[in-house]
Every structure is written in C-alpha cells, then in structure tokens.
Amino acid sequence: MRKTKEERQQKRLLLKLNKLSQFSKALASHIVRGMPKANEVEIRRRFEICQSCLHFTGESCRICGCGVNAQQQLMNKLSWADQQCPDNPRKW
C-alpha cells in the first residue's frame, strides 16, 4: 500500500522532531559537563571515521541527526569532547 503525501510529510516531521530531541539531550548533557572541547586532531579523527560510516549523509549522521564536519564549532558534535558516536558498537 502506497503512503499518501500527508503520511510522508508526517513521517518526515516525526523524524525531524526525533533528531531535534536527540540533539537537545546531547546539548544539555554537554552544557552540564562544562562544554569540553575536542582538539583539532581528535575532531579530524572522528570526522574520518564518520566519512566511512554507512550512516553518514555527507552533512549529518542518520542515527542522531547531528551535523558532522571537520571544523571546531559549537554546533558540531564532533568537537564536543564528552560526546560519543551513537552507533552500536560506537566507532569513536
């Protein structure tokens, strides 16, 4: 049975809300821990691992929805030293 346009839109919305929820939890945890930052070497190491992962879209992780890049910036989960890969088993 084919899904209607409305059903597809609802599914996309639920996926976005789930990703937002997961990111919010990670951000809150990161703030509580004092926002520790990874150094550039660690960020690059993590990024290289992500690039070879099936869940990497080229911009984000399909599992947690977080943006993934090699830059040290606030909204880049790779730059948060206290965070881990969401895959099972964890890759970093």
For the chain, the residue count is 92
Report whether 92 contacts 45 (CB < 8 A).
Answer: yes
**Low-confidence residues of the chain: pLDDT under 70:** none
**9: number of Cβ within 10 Å:** 11
pTM across the whole model: 0.79
Residue 58's DSSP bridge partners are: none
pLDDT in tens, 29-53: 999 999 999 999 999 999 999 999 9
